[in-house]
Each structure stands twice: as structure tokens, then as C-alpha cells.
Amino acid sequence: MVSEDAVDLQDVVVRYGATTAVDGVSLRMFRGRVLALLGHNGAGKTSLLQVCEGFRSPDGGRARVLGLDPIADHDALMPRLGIMLQSGGVYPWATTGEILRLFASYASNPIDPEQLLDLLGLRKIERTRFRRLSGGEQQRLSLAIALVGRPELVFLDEPTAGMDTEARHTTWRLIEQLRTDGVSVLLTTHLLDEAERLADDVVIMRSGVVAATGSPAELTAAAGIDLLSVRAEPSLTLDGRLAGLDIKENTPGEYAITGPLDATTIAEVLSWFADAGARVTAVNTRRRTLEDVYLALTTGEKAAAKR
Amino acid sequence: MSGTFAPAPGRAPMRAVLRSQVRMELTLTARRGEAVVLAMGVPLLVLLGAGLTHATNVPGGDRLAFVVPGVLALTVMSTAFTGQAITTGYERSYGVLKRLGASPLTRPGLLFSKIAAVLGLIVVQLLVLAAVGVAVGWRPHFGQLLPAIGITVLATAAYSGLALLLASVLKPETTTAAATFIYVLMLAAGGIMFAAPNLGTAGWFILPLAAHAEALRQTLSHDAAVPGSIWLSLSLWTLVFVSAAARKFRWE
């Protein structure tokens, strides 16, 4: 069974009444990978995760997790999964230590709760009841609960939401450690740097459908257009010699050149500046970031959702 | 910390899982002040107040023979119905039921742990209250102990069904209010501190607490059989509310 995909979704549909939250999503996640589901709030990320976790059955399509049906094979699947919910799910009147030890007691071969308490910086709040914890502390405990049973596959729903910068970096290092140790990780996020840093594969969702998939590098490369910016005197006359390239003076003296840029065309651009007698003081190239791709793909979604 | 997270999943032996879950359920019950008061404080107060003073009029000459079985029945209701409805309502709204159902504990395991914790709690409460009763002069009979236990199990099942039903269809705040209101209503009208309204046999079908209390009185105080109409009444209550709870129960 080891050859089974971590997650295999085919045409999954999730509806809430008249609203369609997920509208036919297919995706495969291989074992040992870190996959980030990226999208605005309401794009359908959490709904999709709920299907994978067996919390709801899809209104259409088929879901397989570790080769099993999340609902029909629920009891066989659960010990192999680590689940981190966005919020709640924990006895408010139990302490951090009690909760972590409870979940450890469910597992045949748990990570020592004492070690996890230290690793996730929970030692100081070991005897604090859950309802007294800050949002970030609750998140860290939820993450510890997800990991304590040594799962094969973990689902992390916005794992760093509500965390301060330090806790966020700790969590990122932890997720990198999970990958190193061979754990498959499916996480949702709307933080682009999080996806870019952690994910082997990124799935961008928009309004319940998959807008793009690929590694962060593939997504940025496929989007193509790099940017060349040149600083020189303001108000140079832009003539037609650079056909195919688009030159704009965005702010006085700052020229942005877009189009099919490569070594040859960049050289042409610079010689054009030289021929125009310009004194060039700075030249920068910039690759498109995941953020550019993401914004290009998802812009207009919120406006569309309001209509 | 390399290799710390290397996958090695598996469920602990189910007995161990259930044992630690039941322990957690009991720990949390003991931690909630109102639960402890409902579970022991109110019954003790009623037992000593109505049993030893003449603050209320009770039928018959032996006050304790009337009051102690009623207090035992009241305790079963407070734990199986009121306490359980409130706890389940809040655990559902906090997402605890959903989360634990999606753990190696599983949903059946969670339900089993809850039932075991409630039953265990009831057994301890009844033993303590009966012992207090005996200490102040109640003289129970044991010839009909088995039917008394049987009717108590039936009452526990009926109350649990009603509790889970309420917690599934109402918001937790409303559940708490409703469960407390029904508790107070039953305490007043259920024939615990003074005689229930005399509604004849119909009364057993309308007031399960009065029916259960009367059954315990007949068996434990008077060494008599449980009336057939009470068996029928509590069986109906159980059938209706356990099946309704099974249909309506919501994990989130």
C-alpha cells in the first residue's frame, strides 16, 4: 500500500446549501511531499481539507487518502493522520499537558509528550488551561496534537495563523523537519512566503476551482515575464526601436521594461539608453514572485464573489 | 532532532485508549463546580433537609423511606440528563466532539467513554448517598435490588437520550438553560421533596423522575415489585429519546 498517493481527489464538489464551495477539484499529492493549498478566504481550501479529513462527504467526486476512503475507512485511517484544525477541538478546561498526553495515549508509538512540549515552546504553559492560552499558543498545541502520534500524513489548516514571527519561523523549521523525516504534509495558507518557502507543490485555488498547480519555481517561470528596471534621467523620449518590449516610466527616472527579456534584449535595452545619451545609475532584473502569479490569478475573485 | 517525526503510526490498544479517555472525562467533570454541586450538593441537601426535618409534607409516616429513594432518582437525572446535556452542548460547540471523533479514539470510542464515565459517576454517587441515607436512619431492603438496578439503568438511558438530543438540536447556552429548567421543574414536581401531583398512572408517563423515584421506593423501601406501568413508562421514554438522539445526534 506504500505506493498509494498521500491524497488523490477526483472532481470533488462541496456545497453548502445553494453555495458551491468546491466546484470539481482534482489533485494528486505524492507521499513525502509538502503541498500548499493557496487561496483567499472562501476559495474552498478548508472545505477541501474537511473532505480529506472525513469531516464531510463530498457532494460529488471521489476522495482517497493514503488509498482509503476518509469516511468509509475512517477508523482505520485516523491513527495514520495528524490533523490540525483552524480553531477549537480541545477541552477548554484541560491543561496543555493533559491534552497532549491524552492524544499521546491514543497512539501505539507516540513521540514523548515531554519532548514535544519543549520543541514547540509549550513548557511554560504546560499547566495552563486551554481557554487561557493565546491564539498562537493554542495553534502550537494543536500542531503538537497533530504530530504526537507519528502520523504518515498531516493536514495543517493555516498552521501559522495567529503566531508571532518567532513562532512562525519555529513552525516553518518544524514543517521542513517533517519533510526531512518523510512525513507528507498538506497545508493551507494565504501566506505566499510560507508556500514559497515550504512547499514542493503549490495548488492555487480560486472560487472553488484549481487556478494553477506546480512547484513554486514552475509557477513563477511559467508566468514568464521578468522585469527589468533601469534608473536614468527622467523624461527620456521612448522611441520605437525596441519593438516587442514595453517601456514605461513609472516614476520620473524609473523605467520598467517588460516583455520577452533575455541576455540579447537586455543588451539592446541598455544600448538604447546609451545611444539616447542617458546616464544610467541602476539596472535591476526581477523574477516574478509567487505573489505576482497569485495576484494575477486571483485578482477580481473578491469582487466577483460579492456580486 | 533528526528522525523525531519519522512516521510510525498506530492506535494504542483500545482498552488503554478508553481508559485514558474515561479518566479525562471524570477529571473534567470534577473540575466543573456546577457539575459537582448538581451531582452531590443538591441531592445531599434535599436528603438531609427533607429527610430529617419537617420542612415539607411527605406521604406516609416514614420520611426517609420516601425521601431517600427520591434523592437517588434525582441524582441519576442530574448526572445523566442535566450534567450530560450541558457538557455535550459545550463540547460540541467547542469542536471537541468533532476533533476527538477524528482521532484514533474514534466516535464509538468517544461515546463509550462518555457512557462509562456517566455510569461510573452514577454508581459512586448512589453508593455515597445511600450510605448517608443509611447513616441517618434509612433502612433499605435488598430483596428487589435487581429490578431496582434494572429500572435505574433504563432511566439512565432515557435521560442520556434526552440529553444528547437537546445538545444536538439547541445552542449550548439554550441547552444549559433548558436542562437546568427541566431539572428544577422535576425537582419541584417530580415527587422528591413532597408528593408528586396525583395524576394516577398517567403521572408515571408524564414525569419520568416521579416514576423512577416511585420504583425505587417500592423496591428499596418497601421490598415490593416495580409496578408494570413504570416499567412501561420508562421503556417508552428510553425508546423514544434514545432513537431520537441516534437520529439527530450531531458531532459538530
Residue B123 clears pLDDT 80, i.e. is over it: yes
Tell me the mean pLDDT in the region B206-230.
94
Taking any CB pair shorter than 8 Å as contact, residues of chain B touching chain A are 1-13, 16-17, 20-21, 24, 27-28, 31-32, 90-91, 94-96, 98-100, 102-106, 252
Whole-angstrom Cα distance, residue A104 to residue A149?
6
Q: What is the band of A224 on the pLDDT scale with cuts at 50, 70, 90?
A: low
Model pLDDT, residue B170:
93
Name the pLDDT band for A305 (thresholds 50, 70, 90).
very low
What is the pLDDT, as a whole number, of residue A307?
37
State pLDDT tens for residues B133-165. Answer: 999 999 999 999 999 999 999 999 999 999 999
SS3 for A97-124 is HHHHHHHHHCECCCCCHHHHHHHCCCHH
The whole-number pLDDT of residue B150 equals 96
Residues of chain A contacting residue B8, judged by C-beta atoms under 8 Å apart: 109, 150
pLDDT tens digits along A60-76: 999 999 999 999 999 99
State residue A29's pLDDT score.
95
**Chain A contact set for B1 (CB, 8 A):** 119, 177
Cβ contact, residue pair B5, A85, below 8 Å: no
> For chains A and B, what is the number of CB pairs under 8 angstroms?
119
B9-68 residue pLDDT tens: 999 999 999 999 999 999 998 888 777 787 888 999 999 988 888 877 788 778 899 999
Q: Residue A296: what pLDDT?
A: 75
pLDDT for the residue numbered B2: 64
Q: Which residues pair with A285 in a beta bridge?
A: A228
Contact B9 A79 (CB under 8 A): yes
With 60 as the cut, is the pLDDT of residue A249 above it? yes
**Mean pLDDT across chain B, nearest whole number?**
90
Backbone dihedral angles phi then psi of residue A120, each to the nearest 5 degrees: -100, 15
Q: Where do the domains of chain B lie? A: 14-248
Would the pLDDT of A247 be above 90? no
Residue A210 gets the label, from left (phi > 0), alpha (psi -120 to 50) or beta, of beta
pLDDT of A241 higher than 80: no
Question: Average pLDDT, stretch A264-280?
Answer: 81
pLDDT digits (tens, 9 = 90+) for B92-113: 999 999 889 889 998 888 888 9
Residue B2: list chain A partners with CB under 8 A: 177, 180-181
- pLDDT tens string A161-213: 888 888 899 999 999 999 999 999 999 998 888 998 999 999 999 889 998 89
CB contact under 8 A, B102 and A78: yes
User: Looking at chain B, how many residues does it have?
Assistant: 252
Question: How far A183 CA sits from the closest chain B CA (Å)?
Answer: 6
- Paired with A255 in beta bridges are A230, A249
- Mutate: best of A106, A120, A157, partner B, most B CBs <10 A: A106
Residues in a beta bridge with A22: A14
Contact A91 B17 (CB under 8 A): no
Distances (CA, A) of A283 to A230, A248, A269, A271: 5, 15, 11, 13
* Interchain proximity A55–B24, CB inside 8 Å: no
Question: Shortest Cα distance from A217 to chain B (angstroms)?
Answer: 27
Q: Residue A271: which pLDDT band, with cuts at 50, 70 and 90?
A: confident
Instruction: Give the model's pLDDT for residue A303.
Output: 46
Tell me if A89 and B95 make a contact (CB, 8 A cut-off): yes
For residue B32, list chain A residues with Cβ-Cβ distance below 8 A.
93
* Residues of A with Cβ-Cβ distance to B104 under 8 angstroms: 78-79, 106-107, 149
ipTM of the complex: 0.86
CB contact under 8 Å between B95 and A87, yes or no, is yes
Q: How confident is the model at residue A276 (pLDDT cuts 50, 70, 90)?
A: confident
pLDDT tier at A235 (50, 70, 90 boundaries)? confident
When the pLDDT of each residue in chain A is averaged and rounded to a whole number, the result is: 87
> Strands across the sheet with A81-84, in order?
A81-84, A153-157, A184-189, A34-38, A201-206, A209-214
Percentage of the residues of chain B whose pLDDT score is greater than 90: 67
Digit-coded pLDDT (tens) for A3-45? 589 999 999 999 999 999 999 999 999 999 999 999 888 889 9
Greater model confidence, B101 or A260: B101
Would you tell me which residues 115-174 of chain A have a C-beta closer than 8 angstroms to some C-beta of chain B? 115, 119, 147, 149-152
Indicate whether A281 pLDDT > 80. yes
Do A93 and B105 lie within an 8 Å CB cutoff?
Answer: no
Q: What is the mean pLDDT of residues A242-262?
A: 78
Supply the pLDDT for residue B76. Answer: 95
In angstroms, rounded to a whole number, what is the distance separating the alpha carbons of residues A15 and B170?
24
